[in-house]
Amino acid sequence: MRSKAPLALMEQIVMLLVFSLAAAVCVRAFVLADRVSRDNAARDQAALKAETAAEVYKACRGDGALAVEKLGGSVERGAWVTLWDADGKQAREEKNAAYRVRVEPEQGGGLLGRAAVTVSAKDGGTLFEMEIAWQEADGGA
């Protein structure tokens, strides 16, 4: 009787190859899911930061200097910029900032003032962006 060992060996090698392929696909899916989850968590915080910046900017009627007085940050080439760390506190330096919120005023039309709010991550990628508008003058004016 001939030994069945080579056959079993071949079978196991094929099995291992197929498994390796499946495992590689799985691990790739895990890594992707992890990255998506991190992005979502960062986007959640970015949305809150954008919301805060939008409300402050609207309350200040598009006055960047007043917004700096109320919430901090700085005005860079007409845009109001605030930096936040991962714990949700304001960061003084760019290197400590996990989120960079930039409110760029846009040309408004008539009674409305407009601005674009962009929140970017440390690597420069955009996490969240929104357009805001507010009434510049009294409705009855």
Partner 1 sequence: MRKTAERHPVEGVFVLLLAGVFAVCVLLVLFTGARTYRALAERDAEAYARRICVQYVAAKVRHAGGPVYVGNFDGGPSENGDTLFLLEKDGGVACCTRIYYYDGAVRELFTEVSGDGRFRREDGVPVTDAKALSFSRDAGTGLLTVRAEDEAGLFSSVRLLPRAGEGAAP
Chain residues binding partner 1 by CB under 8 A are 1-3, 5-6, 8-9, 12-13, 15-16, 19-20, 23, 26-27, 30, 33-34, 37-38, 40-41, 44-45, 48, 51-52, 55-56, 58-60, 66, 70-71, 87-89
CB of 28 or CB of 92, closer to partner 1:
28
DSSP string, 81-118: EEEE-TTSSBPSSGGG-SEEEEEEEE---TTEEEEEEE
Question: How many helices (H) and strands (E) are present in the chain, helices listed first?
Answer: 2, 5
CB of 26 or CB of 137, closer to partner 1:
26
Min separation Cβ 56 and partner 1, Å? 6
CB of 51 or CB of 104, closer to partner 1:
51
CB of 12 or CB of 126, closer to partner 1:
12
What is the distance between the alpha carbons of residues 13 and 22, in angstroms, rounded to a whole number?
14
Min separation Cβ 11 and partner 1, Å? 9
What is the distance between the alpha carbons of residues 103 and 73, in angstroms, rounded to a whole number?
11
- Structure token digits, residue 122: 């440390």
